Each structure stands twice: as C-alpha cells, then as structure tokens.
Amino acid sequence: MERRKFVIQTTLLTGSIAALPFWSIGKYGDGEESVFSLPDLPYGFDALEPMIDEKTMRIHHGKHFKGYTDKLNKAIERTPFANQSIEDILQSISASDTAIRNNGGGYYNHALYFASLSPNPKTRPSGKLMDALERDFGSFESFKEMFTTKALGVFGSGWAWLTKNDVGELAIVSTPNQDNPLMSFVADRGLPLMGIDVWEHAYYLNYQNERNAYIDAFFKVIDWEFVEEKFN
Ligand code: MN3
C-alpha cells in the first residue's frame, strides 16, 4: 500500500494563532532583537482548582514553561532559526538539534497545553470535530478511553496528543520528552489539536503516582471550543 505523503498545513496553524491571543506565540518585539515571550495564563493560577492545583500551576508555568522559553531563546540566538516562527523551527530542526528540540518543543507544547485549559470549558465537542471523532474513534467516549490509555502508556516523561493530518483524519499519538508531532523525525506526524503533559511535574504534587486521576481531571478542564478552533 502506498503511504500517503504528509503535508503540514501551516495556514491552519496561522489561522488559529490569529484567532486566539494567548496562542499568539510567534515572535514578539521587532526585527533581530525579538524573542519568544512567556505567554501569561488566560486565567488565574488557582482557577483550575481542584482539578489542577494552584501550586502546580505556579511552578509549571513560572518555572518549567519559563525555563523552556529562556533556553529556547538562548539556543536560537545567532542561528538561522532566530527569526522563524516556533512552528517553522519545530518543522525544520533535526533530531540532533538537542537544545532547540527540547526547549522549542517545551515552548510550543506548554503554550498549547495552558491555552487549551479553561475554568469554564466546553466539556463536549460538537459540529465538525465531533463528527470526525465519531468517524475515527467510534464515539467521544471511546476517544476518551483510547486517549487515556495512550497517556497512561507513556513511559517516563512525555505527551499524548490528538492530531489531525493533511486530509483531516484524527489520530491519538504520544511523544517522549518534549518532542512534538510537528517535528520531522517523530514517528506519527500531524497538527496537534490538544495534548496532555504527563511529565510528573504536571501532576505529582496533587496526584502523586495517580496519573489516571490527573488524566480524568484534565478532561474536566480541557476546553473543546479551543480544540474545535484548531480543527476547523
Ligand atoms: Mn510540563
């Protein structure tokens, strides 16, 4: 069987970026001095309580996400990547670009993660995204089961993702560490629509080893309206 060629739809990414201020994660500032900035949370640090606790949010955003941001800026300084969007960077690096791979991935992944959560989420998708979830996974409930299984199965640190390919087909995939489905060298490429951080720093303070309970809580704060905007 011939393998379908995958083409990243950057225009879709750009559309979503334009629609959502928090997700405007490209360069800020002007010209060569511009750097990636740490996006503010669009809600309070305690707003996702009790699903995700304030202390975890403060450390996750203020230390981990900030750390990836600062290290990404340092890694791309005076390189050909210095004036590219984060999406272009992730799509053009090679696996051996370790610092940009880890910190650029960390930057994009956390920007998506924090932007996709909400204290007042739309808890169930509808419209075209719901149609696609039902087509590709049978039902929303079976999607949640499969996504949970994938997230539980990540060994060590990493992410589970819902992605779509160039013809709009959905997939549930995982990546290790801060890898991301946009990267050319990952096994299952696609446009990330949403993703769950299953590094222990994302849940250990509140849930300890109960990753399952954290995943259940994640589904209570993931905003399907955000995911729909990325899908459409
Ligand atoms: Mn994290």
- Domains in the chain: ranges and CATH: 1-27+51-232 (3.55.40.20)
Task: Determine the distance separating the centroid of ligand 1 and the alpha carbon of 173, expressed in angstroms.
Answer: 17
- What is the band of 34 on the pLDDT scale with cuts at 50, 70, 90? low
Average pLDDT over residues 173-200: 96
How many A from CA of 60 to the centre of ligand 1? 6
Confidence check: pLDDT of 19 > 90: no
Helix axes 98-116, 224-231, angle to 10 degrees: 120
CB contact at 8 A, 158 and 177: yes
Q: Ligand 1 centroid vs 70 CA: distance in angstroms?
A: 15
State the distance from the centre of ligand 1 to the C-alpha of 117, rounded, in angstroms.
14
Q: Nearest CA to 87 among 5, 190, 179, 10?
A: 10
Predicted local distance difference test score (pLDDT) of residue 122? 97
Reported pTM: 0.87
Percentage helix, strand, coil, to 5, in the chain? 50, 10, 40
**Spacing, Cα 107 to ligand 1 middle (Å):** 9
Pairing state of beta strands 170-176 and 191-197? unpaired
94 has pLDDT over 70? yes
Mean pLDDT score, 223-228: 96
Decide: 195 and 109 in contact? Cβ < 8 Å: yes
Give 21 or 156, the one with higher predicted confidence.
Answer: 156
Q: How far apart are CA 31 and CA 40, in angstroms?
A: 22
pLDDT score of 35: 81
41-55, 70-84, 147-161, 167-181, range with the lowest pLDDT: 70-84
Beta bridge pairs of residue 196: 160
The sign one gets for the Cα dihedral 203, 208, 211, 212 is negative
Q: What are the CA-CA distances from residue 107 to residues 73, 102, 181, 183, 227 (Å)? A: 10, 9, 14, 13, 18
Confirm if 67 and 36 have CB atoms less than 8 A apart.
no
CB 1 within 8 A of CB 9: no
pLDDT greater than 70 at residue 6: no
Distance from Cα 5 to the centre of ligand 1, integer Å: 31
179 CB-side CA count, 13 A: 22
The Å distance, Cα 65 to ligand 1 centre, comes to: 7
User: What is the dihedral sign for C-alpha 177, 66, 55, 220?
Assistant: negative
199 alpha carbon – ligand 1 mean position (Å) = 6
Find the distance separating the first CA and the last CA of the chain, reported in whole Å: 29
The pLDDT of 122-147, averaged and rounded, is 98
The pLDDT tens digits of the residues spanning 62-93 come to 999 999 999 999 999 989 898 888 999 999 99
Best CA proximity match to 218, nearest among 201, 200, 202: 202
> What is the whole-number distance in angstroms between the Cα of residue 110 and the centre of ligand 1?
6
